[in-house]
A = this chain, B = another copy of it.
Amino acid sequence: MKSTYGQYCPVSLASEVLGERWTILIIFALSEGSSRFNRLQRALPRISASTLAQRLRSLEESRVISKQKSVDGGAIEYQLTDAGEDLVPIVKQMGQWGQRWARDLEVEDLDPRHLIWSVHLRLDLDEMPSGRTTIQFEFTDLRKVDRFYWIVVNKRKVDVCLKHPGHEPDVCVASEILRFIEAWRGFRSLENEVKSGRIKVTGAPEMRHAFTSWLLLSAVAHVGRQRQGRERTLQRRNKKSY
């Protein structure tokens, strides 16, 4: 598949850059500050290393990103160029469109690693205790391997752990993953879910009660959904739709 369209048209020239699988998501992740190879992989857990490497090369060739050794370590960092920064508003608008109009989620869309990565980027550190704070997430409908995640906040640094961090969590959150995602997306009230215990929060009372104020929710949680939910949609056969 050639990537060109045979047209002088500026929309098609832009499509060559944005139209490849994963590219838009990489730009979005870069705009959120994930500038290293490894962090990009964690933001996009389903991308393979080779695909990510290929996309980064091709974005560099299009001069949408640039590559540098970071000043502190010798680690390599990717940055949006001016041209890349100009794509960010477009990508954000696509996110708004997705919130308004995209299809309902299905089981395969619920990768918990991606979810936790998103959550750890949107914690309100000013609302959180000043000492080290650890939140455990448990997705009760997933099997052991996928079930537990920890976010450790310390001195305004936020880390994701896929293994138990070795000390006791301050707050434990337990929920079905879809339910948590729907609250995160703004489709359900987080407060209601917590009050009713459908999202169960445990830990010391002052921590437990503060918890909902720590989550900033998805960046488009406030954007109103326009698409009719599954109960009113066309029948879609052979698809479990959530």
Whether the pair A10, B44 counts as a contact (CB closer than 8 A) is no
Whether the pair A8, B45 counts as a contact (CB closer than 8 A) is no
Whether the pair A94, B4 counts as a contact (CB closer than 8 A) is no
Whether the pair B21, A1 counts as a contact (CB closer than 8 A) is yes
* B contact residues around A105 at 8 Å (CB): 8
Interface size range on A against B: 35 or more
Cα–Cα distance between A207 and B199 once the two chains are bound (Å): 74
A7 within 8 A of B: yes
Whether the pair A102, B5 counts as a contact (CB closer than 8 A) is no
* B contact residues around A118 at 8 Å (CB): 9
A84-92, A123-131, A144-152, A154-162: which one contacts chain B? A84-92
Whether the pair A24, B13 counts as a contact (CB closer than 8 A) is no
A108-116, A135-143, A165-173, A208-216: which one contacts chain B? A108-116
A134 CB to nearest B CB, Å: 24
A38 CB to nearest B CB, Å: 18
* B contact residues around A55 at 8 Å (CB): none
A222 within 8 A of B: no
A226 within 8 A of B: yes
Q: A interface vs B, CB < 8 Å?
A: 1, 3-25, 28, 44-46, 62-64, 82-83, 86-87, 89-91, 93-103, 105, 108-111, 114-115, 118, 181, 184-185, 218, 220, 226-227
